[in-house]
Amino acid sequence: MAIAGDLHGQWDDHDEAVLRHLQPDALLLVGDLADGDGRLGRRLASLPLPAACILGNHDAGRDASGRTMARMDQALGELHCPWSLRWLDPPGLAVVGGRPGSAGGGFNLSQAVQAHWGPLDLLQSAERITTAALAAPEGRPLVLLAHCGPSGLGSAASDPCGRDWKRPALDWGDLDLREALQRIRRQRPVPLVVFGHMHHRLRSGGARRRLLRDGQGTIFFNAACVPRHGHDVNGRAVRQFSWVDLAADGRVEAVRLCWHDSEGVVRAQDDLLSSEPVAC
Residues forming contacts to Fe ion in the complex (CB under 5 A) are 32, 56-57, 197
Q: Which is nearer to Fe ion, 101 or 154 (CB)?
A: 101
Q: Which is nearer to Fe ion, 197 or 260 (CB)?
A: 197
Beta carbon of residue 224, minimum distance to Fe ion (angstroms, whole number)? 8
Beta carbon of residue 32, minimum distance to Fe ion (angstroms, whole number)? 4
Partners of 3 in beta bridges? 28, 242
Residue nearest to Fe ion (CB): 197
Beta carbon of residue 196, minimum distance to Fe ion (angstroms, whole number)? 7
Q: Which is nearer to Fe ion, 197 or 200 (CB)?
A: 197
Beta carbon of residue 278, minimum distance to Fe ion (angstroms, whole number)? 24
Beta carbon of residue 5, minimum distance to Fe ion (angstroms, whole number)? 10
Q: Which is nearer to Fe ion, 104 or 141 (CB)?
A: 104
Q: Which is nearer to Fe ion, 159 or 261 (CB)?
A: 159
Q: Which is nearer to Fe ion, 36 or 191 (CB)?
A: 36
Q: Which is nearer to Fe ion, 52 or 88 (CB)?
A: 52
Beta carbon of residue 198, minimum distance to Fe ion (angstroms, whole number)? 8
- Residue-wise DSSP of the chain: -EEE---TT---HHHHHHHHHH--S-EEE-S--STT-HHHHHHHHT-SS-EEE--BGGGGTT-TTSHHHHHHHHHHGGGB-TTSEEEETTTTEEEEE--TTB--SBS---HHHHHHH----HHHHHHHHHHHHHTSPTTS-EEEE-SS-BS-S-SSTTSTTB--SSSSP-B--BHHHHHHHHHHHTTS---EEEE-SS-SB-TTS-B---EEE-TT--EEEE---SS-EEE-TTS-EEEEEEEEEE-TT--EEEEEEEEE-TT--EEEEEEHHHH--EE-
Contact residues for 166 (Cβ-Cβ < 8 A; gap 6+): none
Beta carbon of residue 83, minimum distance to Fe ion (angstroms, whole number)? 18
